Structure 1
Amino acid sequence: MRSTTIAEAWAGDRNNFNLIRLLAAWLVVYGHAWAITGSAGGDVVTWLTRFKFAGGVAVDIFFVVSGFLIAASLQRNSMRAYLASRALRILPALAVCVALCVFVLGPLLTTSQDYWRHADTWRYLWTNASLWSNAYFLPGVFENLPNPAVNGSLWTLPIEARLYLALLAAGAFGLLAPRRYTPLWALALVAAYAYALWHHPLPDHLMNTMWCAAFFITGTMFWVNRERIGLNGWGVLALLLLATITRGTPWFHLPYFALIGYGTLWLALAARLPVIRHTDLSYGMYLYGWPAGQLVQAYSPGSALHNACWTTLLVLALAAASWFLIERPALRLKQRLVARRPATGAGIGSA
């Protein structure tokens, strides 16, 4: 298998980032079907890894991709343009999704007599739409389902937003040069790993944040060292073999981390996969996947696979509406408002 550097692959005329994000978003829908339906057992990814369910693996992939693409975006944009780009990509679609849950789905489904007077209604709206934190419940909505959360997927977005700001700070202090960033990245991973071992078991929210941050800064590490790191299929196979050997052991998380990080970049830039160029339904699928699954469970309860199949059909329609009506117009607005620096091998499917 021929090896090429990340920079060489990035400078080409194709990549698979949109496809990978779409598949990862579907894995979230698929994996959440068990939590939504309260079904016993777990998905195929849970069985394969004995470590994380499908949605957890998908979130790890998302953060690797995000760390890489957002670092690329930071390099070719001014600080103002970078912040505008991030805000226009995330906030409009999120605000619409949250508003639809509060002002349409909630009033139609609630059993609460004081829905509009309840503090949780407005807490859900402002907390989620502002990216400040997360709120999961609306009064009287989905209260008779196995899991009453209105949207259990939004917890990653405040983490993502804070990582964007942390990356901006790193860039402002000149830390994204390879000779500076690489040792800091290694030190951060070692320190986080030592902390997790010393304080094991960590609370779920802290562990989730640490995993997300670790994959994000690793994606950024690949961008920073794109001229030095090669993409080789044999390396992916070696990591896959090591993960297979350690599956079910206390050490599986180490090859898993390396495989998700390096394997994601290899799939995105070296693998010959179908290219999705001008449409990105992944964010809309991620935003609406859980509420769509809850609606399917409310009106057509069944097994986890039953829920996943019907949710896929419903969420594809919702994601398409989000893309064509909200996200794509926001991206066009970004192109008009943001003056970019000269691009340096940006490639297609950029952040």
Structure 2
Amino acid sequence: MSAREGTVLRTDIQGLRALAVALVVVYHLHAAAVPGGFVGVDVFFVISGFLITAHLVARPPRSARDLGAFWGRRIRRLLPASLLVLVASLVATRLLAPETMWAATASDARAAALYVVNWALAGRAVDYLASDDAPTAVQHFWSLSVEEQFYFLWPLLVAGVVLLARRRGVGTRTALVAAFAVVTAASFAWSVHLTRVNPAAAYFVTPARVWELAAGGLVAAWLTDRHQRGKRAAERSPGALPALGAWTGLALIGLAAATYSAATPFPGHHAALPVLGAVLLIACGAPRESRLGPGRLLALRPVQWLGDVSYSVYLWHWPLVVITVAVTGHAIGPRTGAAVLVATLLLAAATERLVERPFRAPRLSLQVRRTYAVGALAMGVVVALASVQLVEVQRRSDEAARQLAAALQDGGPCFGAAAVGRRCPEASYDDLVPAAAVAADDKAEAYGDVGPRSCWSAEPDFADVPCTFGDADGTVSVALFGNSHAGQWLPALQALAQDHGWRIETRLASRCASADIEQDFDEPEAVGTCADWVRRTAAELVETKPDLVVVSNRMQAQAVGLDDAGSAEAYREGYARVLGGIADAGIPVLAIRDTPAPGRSIPDCVASERDDYDACAGPRRTWLPEDPVVDVVAAAHDPLLRLVDLTDRFCGRTECRAVNGNVITYFDGHHITATYAHTLAPYLEPAVLDALAAGRSRPS
């Protein structure tokens, strides 16, 4: 809802819109300038809640017809521009972005067209292995989804409260204030709780965000007279105290934008700062006539113009950022940032003039049925386009799967890890396995999205999820223990198990390395539960006595309260306690040195560069991560505690490659594909057999 849609023009609110969208855009173009610029979205939420509620309090819906008319206005206000940007983003991604982005963009666009993409993102955000996925061009529609869900439910609440208040003889404004206060308090409490226990989901889900819109609604219900909406704000010429409140509101928003960062737990209680700032400015008012308040600054013509086009600016800026990064292969710099900004403003101006404004025209106000019909048809077009793209990706995926099966069957001395160090011809981009478009899904069976079930203990509780692979009746048991960098070795062990009749039992955790230390997680509860999982699993291994424990980890998190150097030493001590304890029980332990890590999505890079695989390679010295387990094994001098280092199957003397033996080596920025892990089985086998032999020769 625009600040111009009321009976009185609130230039201060239009100025606040301009500030909000400026924070978001600058944050996405140059985060270092405003590291907390994402709070602009929270300011938008407060504004939207205020304006919508002011309208509803002035004219509460009394019938289904009133509700239909209200939602019809929302459709005309929001859908034309948003669906235009969705279609443009789908087409641009298909034509310009690497094929690794097609499916995710289409899936998000379909959810965005139905205004549920925030829930889809919440589900994906809690998946650790999805954390390195490139953002899609329509990911920013999550905030619009939250608003649309609010717009659907809020008038129902208002109508219900007004009806109940009249029947009970209670003042409607008093009842509305009370109802909005309850919603604000309950949602805020849930936001604080969820941000603590599940911050990835809390950022996107509506129940953790609706309090911000409800806070704006609370201000509207408190300040707005039902019969003279906006009159009080227009006639009031703020004195020193209201002006101070307005300046304080701006200062709070600025403080959040300057001091928050991506590391700030959000939303939770931290969101209260920008929300309170927006509430203060709206409640105190800052008309342009005021000499003391910020009204004149907010009423400047360029600021007002930016406020007018803020919705379209928000819609266009993010697709332009994502597509630019995808095309150039580089982060946004000063020149590209300036180009994106100019393009955003030009597209926003055109969209506001040619799309937004005509659909807000009064002549359309009574055409409710047509509004719904056209809106549903337009949404259907976007859903259909996205679905067609997903069908194309699925067809390519099926062909890639057939190609992969044939390649695994044929193998050969120039396939996968066997090709490292040999003079082998390179396959063309179209002959790579797995194909770049599906490499991100080429994961071990332990991952729930590719296997029968997930085999991962995960934060915050790290409940035990053991799985068995290989020969269930095998007399030799091999336990695979560690975090995701242990799980990536499952295909290699499965290949060995098939040859030797072994049983493989997994003890895997997402992010939690098998070191007896407190590891720093986003969710504070996970710090203790991860440590408990490590100790509990180590004790179970000592009790069940498998024939061999294979362990591998990546240092995903620092030790609590320590820097990098201190964390490395803490990990060494933690690994020594865990692995030493298992070996002391007479169980052989084979530690696999952590694999080289590119640090960027290899499927995306290969899809962008196509036949130029060298563009995705990197120096061995930077790709090879520090792994404290190397020092632990060297210092132990225990024949039951061994190390195997297969770095040379990834890298030459100075360079590590993203494609080896025509196989894409990584499915993201640091996990190896299941196909490449399978080709590593012959090089892992000697170390596994030696470790098993050491265990059999141990004194009984």
Q: TM-score scaled by structure 2? A: 0.38
Q: Paired residue for 1:281, among 288, 309, 330? A: 309
Aligned equivalents of 2:330 and 2:106: distance in 1?
29
Aligned equivalents of 1:192 and 1:279: distance in 2?
28
Q: Paired residue for 1:314, among 343, 354, 375? A: 343
Paired position in structure 1 for 2:279: 261
- Which structure has more relative contact order (CA 8 Å, sep 6+)? It is 1
Q: How does 1:1-351 map to 2 (within 5 A)?
A: 15-34=11-30, 42-46=31-35, 53-54=36-37, 56-74=38-56, 75-76=58-59, 78-102=66-90, 104-112=91-99, 122-133=106-117, 147-175=134-162, 177-198=172-193, 200-208=196-204, 209-210=206-207, 212-227=209-224, 232-237=242-247, 254-266=272-284, 269=287, 271-272=295-296, 273-274=299-300, 276=304, 280-297=308-325, 298-299=327-328, 301=330, 304-332=333-361, 335-338=363-366
8 Å contact from structure 1 (residues 288, 315) kept in 2: yes
Structure 1, gaps ≥5 residues long:
1-9, 35-41, 47-52, 138-144, 341-351
Aligned equivalents of 1:321 and 1:337: distance in 2?
23
Tell me by how many angstroms 1:301 deviates.
4.2
Backbone CA RMSD of aligned residues = 4.0
Give 1 or 2 for the bigger CA radius of gyration.
2
Paired position in structure 2 for 1:140: none
Over residues 132-167 of structure 1, what are the superposed CA-to-partner deviations in whole Å (9 max), with x where a residue is unaligned?
325689xxxxxxx99442233111111101101121
Aligned equivalents of 1:242 and 1:294: distance in 2?
30
Aligned equivalents of 1:182 and 1:150: distance in 2?
39
8 Å contact from structure 1 (residues 24, 59) kept in 2: yes
8 Å contact from structure 1 (residues 97, 287) kept in 2: yes
8 Å contact from structure 2 (residues 26, 34) kept in 1: no
Paired position in structure 1 for 2:565: none
Residue aligned with 1:174, SS: helix
8 Å contact from structure 1 (residues 29, 308) kept in 2: no
Tell me by how many angstroms 1:197 deviates.
4.7
8 Å contact from structure 1 (residues 92, 326) kept in 2: yes
Give the direction of change, closer, same or farther, for the CA distance of 1:20–1:321 in structure 2 (3 Å limit): same
Give the direction of change, closer, same or farther, for the CA distance of 1:194–1:67 in structure 2 (3 Å limit): closer
| Structure number with higher helix proportion | 1
Aligned equivalents of 2:177 and 2:138: distance in 1?
36
Aligned equivalents of 2:33 and 2:306: distance in 1?
31
Paired position in structure 2 for 1:49: none
Task: Report the residue type matching 2:277 in the other structure.
Answer: L
Residue aligned with 2:99, SS: coil
Aligned equivalents of 2:252 and 2:308: distance in 1?
33
Give the direction of change, closer, same or farther, for the CA distance of 1:148–1:66 in structure 2 (3 Å limit): closer
Aligned equivalents of 2:216 and 2:101: distance in 1?
46
Give the direction of change, closer, same or farther, for the CA distance of 1:237–1:279 in structure 2 (3 Å limit): closer
Give the direction of change, closer, same or farther, for the CA distance of 1:14–1:149 in structure 2 (3 Å limit): closer
Aligned equivalents of 1:337 and 1:239: distance in 2?
35
Residue aligned with 2:209, SS: helix
Structure 1: 4+ residue segments shifted above 4 A: 10-14, 134-137, 196-199, 227-231, 237-244, 247-256, 264-270, 300-307
8 Å contact from structure 2 (residues 50, 219) kept in 1: yes
Aligned equivalents of 1:113 and 1:303: distance in 2?
20
8 Å contact from structure 2 (residues 18, 306) kept in 1: no
Tell me by how many angstroms 1:220 deviates.
1.1
Paired-residue identity, %: 23
| Structure number with higher strand proportion | 2
8 Å contact from structure 2 (residues 12, 286) kept in 1: yes
Aligned equivalents of 1:278 and 1:189: distance in 2?
29
The number of residues matched between the two structures is: 304
